[in-house]
Structure 1
Amino acid sequence: MKPWKLLTLISIPAVLVFANGCAVISEDECQAGLWYERGIEDGARGRSQATVYEIAQKCHEYGVRVDTSDWMRGHEEGVEQYCTPENGFIQGRNGRDYEGVCTGPTADLFMSHYQQGLVVYQAEQQYLALENRYEKVEREYYSVSAQLDEDVSKKEARALRRHLRSLRREMRGLEHQMMRFGGFGAFNPGLFY
């Protein structure tokens, strides 16, 4: 089995799992200063070097000067943690944006695994959309069936039966489409590696 397939079985440092959110910093964090450590954290989250300018701008509002050289040294170390093939797959699999922080030979490996993870993520999103549509059609099917049990005219009953047949066809079509993703009610990510 390929190493990146094992990612679902192993855990990685929590710092690599967090989403790549924006670089918001609090006044307390600005006052604390820990710029090298903050750089490591931001790099390990895959944030670009532009992050330090956002931090500096925010800290300036609090009257604090950022040591950008310390942050940059830490960021470089954090990026090394981020730019692994395994993490590339995780980032793609979770549908996270990539800010282009990897360079050199690691960039190609990271990107190839990121793309593989992204394919799985996108397939899962398609599957979930099909599943949601199926559930909506199924609810409508039961609602229309219940209307047939009520006292309705022959004309209304014919229209309701036609509508039920249409809903059944759509449900079968949705079931067929979901089978491409591993089965009805069971998305199989392994089909997309």
Structure 2
Amino acid sequence: MKLWKLLALLSIPTALALTSGCAVISENECQAGLWYERGIEDGARGRSQATVYQIAQKCHEYGVRTDTAAWMRGHEEGVEQYCTPENGFVVGRRGRDYEGVCTGPTADLFLANYERGLAVYQAEQQYAALANRYEKAEREVYRLERAMDDAESKEELRALRSEWRGLLREMRYLEAEMMRFGGFGAFNPLLFY
């Protein structure tokens, strides 16, 4: 089975679980009825066909009948807008979930670019975590330097220096790790395309 088909099958229950607790549609939107337009919008956002069942359930609570067929026609059109290779990269680069809506010849290209974009997003998140750790270590180094100036005994000074040296080693390690992502102080996404 192709990877994109497997992802599509696995993503439907996940999408249902993630969206089951939130309002998919307001009462006013149900009353307006613009089902075809709503389908285009949901498809263009990469929402799965399971969305229409959530919409129907919510609108039923408001006493409004959903035109599922019109929504599905619109959704199909919206999915065509969504499933471009360029959009695959953008969706992945933003770290968004893919609900497996793409089929046909564009699905493989969309998924390949989605995975490339997602790799860049994940690398950027890793870099940000390293930079955050570095900043915390740097603040702690400054705190220890002030504490060493105020140390009241040789033992206290020795313990503070030991901790200070450990933090300097950690900072050097973090600097080296950040270099893998384009340099110290600068994430370079081009390394991950």
- Tell me, yes or no, whether TM beats 0.5: yes
1:64-79 correspondence runs (5 A)? 64-79=64-79
TM-score, normalised with respect to structure 1: 0.88
Distance in 2 between the 1:134 and 1:176 partners? 11
**Partner residue, 1:47:** 47
SS of equivalent residue, structure 1 residue 184: coil
Q: Unpaired segments of 5 or more residues in structure 2?
A: 1-17
**Partner residue, 1:144:** 144
**Partner residue, 1:100:** 100
Amino acid at match of 2:72: M
Distance in 2 between the 1:152 and 1:65 partners? 78
SS of equivalent residue, structure 2 residue 150: coil
1:111-126 correspondence runs (5 A)? 111-126=111-126
Measured against aligned partners, the alpha-carbon deviations of 1:121-160 in whole angstroms (never above 9, x if no partner) come to 1100110110011011111111111101114200000111
**Partner residue, 1:186:** 186
**Partner residue, 1:24:** 24
**Partner residue, 2:162:** 162
Task: Give the CA RMSD over aligned residues.
Answer: 1.0
Amino acid at match of 2:69: S
Q: Does 1:33 align with 2:27?
A: no
Distance in 1 between the 2:80 and 2:28 partners? 27
Amino acid at match of 1:143: R
Amino acid at match of 2:44: A
SS of equivalent residue, structure 2 residue 121: helix
Report % sequence identity.
77
Amino acid at match of 1:72: M
SS of equivalent residue, structure 2 residue 168: helix
Amino acid at match of 2:149: D
Aligned length: 173
Shift of 1:24: 1.2
**Partner residue, 1:3:** none
Distance in 2 between the 1:117 and 1:86 partners? 10
Q: Unpaired segments of 5 or more residues in structure 1?
A: 1-20
TM-score, normalised with respect to structure 2: 0.88
